[in-house]
Structure 1
Amino acid sequence: MKTLFVSYRVTDLDRSLALYAALGYGELGRVETGDGARLVILKFPDEPSASLELVHRPGDGPVDVGSGFDHLAIQVDALAATLERLTAAGLDPGPVQHPGGPQGPKTSWLTDPDGYRIELVEWPSGQPDGMTAADFA
């Protein structure tokens, strides 16, 4: 088994698509499900398949993120350059943080139009991509 993608319900599809496009996601496909509802499947250019689905159901009203969801984590190659690009796109990423100390990963936080939190992570030089059991040894 493997995870296919994460799916978020969004209030304003165009506004959400603009933010996720600024992050670097590209549209893989869309499905119209009736009553104005749409599913938009996204992925990063280097990903082999979908990683995020935005679900827009206008008849359901505004999204309430609530307290059960925490955040989406996205690995970036160069956090400083990513933050500059996002700021130039009109977004407001948070400051760089070092949660594991100065030799650990660099992070920054961003919130999408519906309140979903996004953690941007730059691994230290030499760290393998992704998170594995070795990170907890």
Structure 2
Amino acid sequence: MKTLFVSYRVTELDRSLAFYTALGYAELGRVEAGGGTRLVILKFPEEPAASLELVHRPGDGPVDVGSGFDHLAIQVEELATTLKTLIAAGLKPEPLQYPGGAHGPKTSWLTDPDSYRIELVERPSGHPDGITAADFD
């Protein structure tokens, strides 16, 4: 088994699509599901397949993220460069942080239009992609 993608319900599809496109996602496809429901499938250009789905069901009213959702984590190559790009695109990432100390990962946080939190992570040089069992040894 493997995870296919994460799906977020969004209040305003165009606003959310603009946000995630500025973040670096590219649209892979759309589905009109009836009753005004639209799905937009996204991926980062370097990903082989979809990783995020935006679901717009206008009849359900505004999105309430609530207390159960925490965040989406996205790995980036160079966080400082990514932050400059996001700021230039009109997004508002939080300042660079070093939660594991100077030699650990670098992070920054961003909030989408529906209040979903996104953690941007630059792994230390030489660290394999993603989080593996080796991170817990």
TM-score (norm 1): 0.98
Give the Cα–Cα distance (whole angstroms) in 2 for the partners of residues 22 and 132 of structure 1: 29
Counterpart for residue 115 of structure 2: 115
List per-residue Cα deviations over 1:72-129 (Å, max 9, x = no partner): 0000001011101111111110000111111000000000000000000001111111
Paired residues, number:
137
Cα distance, 1:35 vs structure 2: 1.7
List per-residue Cα deviations over 1:60-80 (Å, max 9, x = no partner): 000000000000000000101
Q: Where does structure 1 differ by over 3 angstroms across 4 or more consecutive aligned residues?
A: none
Cα distance, 1:134 vs structure 2: 0.3
Q: Residue 110 of structure 1 aligns to a residue in which SS?
A: strand
Counterpart for residue 130 of structure 2: 130
Give the Cα–Cα distance (whole angstroms) in 2 for the partners of residues 33 and 102 of structure 1: 48
Give the Cα–Cα distance (whole angstroms) in 2 for the partners of residues 19 and 107 of structure 1: 19
Give the Cα–Cα distance (whole angstroms) in 2 for the partners of residues 124 and 2 of structure 1: 25
**1:61-100 to 2 correspondences below 5 Å:** 61-100=61-100
Identity of aligned residues (%): 81
Give the counterpart letter for 1:66 in structure 2: G
Cα distance, 1:36 vs structure 2: 1.4
**1:29-40 to 2 correspondences below 5 Å:** 29-40=29-40
Give the counterpart letter for 1:63 in structure 2: V
Give the counterpart letter for 1:18 in structure 2: A
Give the Cα–Cα distance (whole angstroms) in 1 for the partners of residues 135 and 74 of structure 2: 17
User: Is it true that 1:41 corresponds to 2:37 in the alignment?
Assistant: no
Give the Cα–Cα distance (whole angstroms) in 2 for the partners of residues 46 and 92 of structure 1: 23
Give the Cα–Cα distance (whole angstroms) in 2 for the partners of residues 72 and 42 of structure 1: 14
Give the Cα–Cα distance (whole angstroms) in 2 for the partners of residues 19 and 67 of structure 1: 22
Structure 2: 5+ residue stretches without partners: none
Q: Residue 130 of structure 1 aligns to a residue in which SS?
A: coil
Cα distance, 1:19 vs structure 2: 0.9
Give the counterpart letter for 2:17 in structure 1: L
Cα distance, 1:34 vs structure 2: 1.1
